[in-house]
Amino acid sequence: MKEECVHVMVRVRPLNKKELTEGDKNCITIDSDNAITLNDLQNTAGTRSYTFDRVFTETHTQKFIYDHSAFPIVEWLFEGFNCTIFAYGQTGCGKTHTMMGDAESQEHSGIVPRTFAHCRSIICADKNKRFLLKASYLEIYNECVYDLLCDKRTKLELKEDPKKSVYVKDLSVETVSTLEDMRKLMEKGNAARTVGATAMNQDSSRSHSIFTMYVEASEEVDGKSRYTSSKLSLVDLAGSERATKTNAKGSRLKEGTMINLSLSALGNVIQALVDGNSKYIPYRDSKLTRLLQDSLGGNTKTLMIAAVSPASSNFDETLSTLRYANRAKNIKNKPKVNMDEKDLAIKQYVEEIEELKVS
Ligand code: ADP
Ligand code: MG
């Protein structure tokens, strides 16, 4: 089976109002489409240069970023590959802007809403295949999993199926047949994220969210039916900044520790995977790494988008994000088309398969 590395891209946001008012300096130089240099303006740490699959600057539009990051991933999804896109970085650096953006606006909508329109155009263009599309939306907060599509906020459990893949027991997985259905699910989940955040005195930067689209496809090849089943997970991670920076105490510190538990577990998994000589990969150390197990070192095409600030006041966090991202480049996955003519579990879906109606 062919191996491929995790694709890693970096997006630099513009200096924000506060940074401009305070006279913060830009400490990032974009050297080319795929190279970035971080300059320590205090000149204690010197300059660091990194290369990635792509570096996006503040001038790149949401559409440009979609076309050069998520677009090929969604095409692969429809060919039967499992795919994951996750946004990593310090709070306020543009993870949610990149993944969700302003869903109402054509210009400012992010990857998730753009994915919907792209799915529809693939389905409409491919008359030889029949499709079934489903979606789920969850969040992990303080190491608990919540279903964002369920009216009642209840904690869900992670389970392992006989094939050793991890799933969330009782998670709502909704069938979607129009573009409008997809948007409604996304809005419902986003609203639940906000309500949960208010009720628990947290904000969304302290939780991880995963929007997943499931695609079942069938087509006739030489008189035989061919089935594929794949999924795309769109992950907006909690802020990666260290708790000390935010002066967190008490329950806030506990949250911070929990988030850092998931993110440091993610870091440890990445480290173990790229070490090459670790036999044991600590996926089981957090909910996040259990759920992302297949995206890191497994049967998935994975893209990480690291969001960074250009402000010199964020130098340490930006350096830490770029190092993290740089390490992730070396993770090797083994993606394959998920196809099985004999798999009855997939075959039974054919009864349900309906052309996606164009809304
Ligand atoms: P995060 O999810 O990483 O905490 P956000 O995506 O919420 O950060 O971004 C923080 C603020 O900065 C938001 O108001 C967002 O609209 C703005 N922002 C982030 N990235 C960009 C960008 N590339 N261009 C313009 N505004 C941005
Ligand atoms: Mg966010």
CA of 127 to the centre of ligand 2 (A): 38
* Protein residue closest via CA to atom 10 of ligand 1: 92
For position 145, what pLDDT does the model report? 94
| pLDDT tens sequence across 95-114 | 999 999 998 899 999 999 99
Model confidence at 156: pLDDT above 50: yes
Starting from the CA of residue 239, give the closest ligand: 1
CA of 155 to the centre of ligand 1 (A): 29
Give the nearest ligand 1 atom to 99 CA: 6
Q: Pick from 100, 91, 102: which is nearest to 13 by CA?
A: 91
Give the nearest ligand 1 atom to 100 CA: 6
Token pair 């949960």: residue? 196
pTM, full prediction: 0.91
* Protein residue closest via CA to atom 5 of ligand 1: 94
For position 359, what pLDDT does the model report? 43
Q: How does 250-285 read in b/e, with b if 16+ C-beta sit within 10 Å?
A: eeeeebbebbbbbbbbbbbbbbbbbeeeeeebebeb
Q: What is the mean pLDDT of residues 20-32?
A: 94
- To test the pocket of ligand 1, the residue of 9, 10, 13 to mutate (highest count of ligand atoms within 8 Å of its CB) is 13
Between 349 and 1, the more confident residue is 1
* Angle subtended at Cα 212 by Cα 211 and Cα 213, rounded to the nearest 5 degrees: 130
Starting from the CA of residue 93, give the closest ligand: 1
| pLDDT tens sequence across 190-236 | 999 877 777 766 666 788 999 999 999 998 888 888 889 999 999 99
For position 177, what pLDDT does the model report? 87
- 304 backbone φψ class: left, alpha, beta (φ>0; ψ -120 to 50): beta
What share of the chain in percent tops pLDDT 70? 87
For β-strands 158-160 and 166-168, DSSP reports them as: antiparallel
Pocket of ligand 1 (CB under 6 A): 13-14, 16, 58, 89, 91-97, 205, 239, 307
What rounded mean pLDDT belongs to the chain? 87
Pairwise CA distance, residues 55 & 9, whole Å: 6
For position 250, what pLDDT does the model report? 56
* Protein residue closest via CA to atom 19 of ligand 1: 94
Starting from the CA of residue 203, give the closest ligand: 2
CA 15 to chain centre: 24
HSE of 195 in the Cβ direction (CA atoms, 13 Å)?
Answer: 14
Model confidence at 19: pLDDT above 80: yes
For position 351, what pLDDT does the model report? 47
Q: What is the mean pLDDT of residues 13-28?
A: 94
| pLDDT tens sequence across 290-328 | 999 988 988 899 999 999 999 999 999 999 999 999 999
Q: How sure is the predictor about 256, in pLDDT bands with cuts at 50, 70 and 90?
A: low
For position 253, what pLDDT does the model report? 56
Model confidence at 24: pLDDT above 80: yes
For position 278, what pLDDT does the model report? 75
**Which tokens go with 15?**
């200096």
For position 249, what pLDDT does the model report? 53
Q: How sure is the predictor about 262, in pLDDT bands with cuts at 50, 70 and 90?
A: confident
Q: What is the mean pLDDT of residues 62-85?
A: 96
Q: Is 300 helix (H, G, I), strand (E, B) or coil?
A: coil
CA of 13 to the centre of ligand 1 (A): 7
Model confidence at 259: pLDDT above 70: no
- To test the pocket of ligand 1, the residue of 16, 56, 97 to mutate (highest count of ligand atoms within 8 Å of its CB) is 97
Helix axes 111-125, 179-199, angle to 10 degrees: 160
Q: Is 145 helix (H, G, I), strand (E, B) or coil?
A: strand
Model confidence at 341: pLDDT above 70: no
For position 339, what pLDDT does the model report? 81
Pairwise CA distance, residues 322 & 10, whole Å: 8
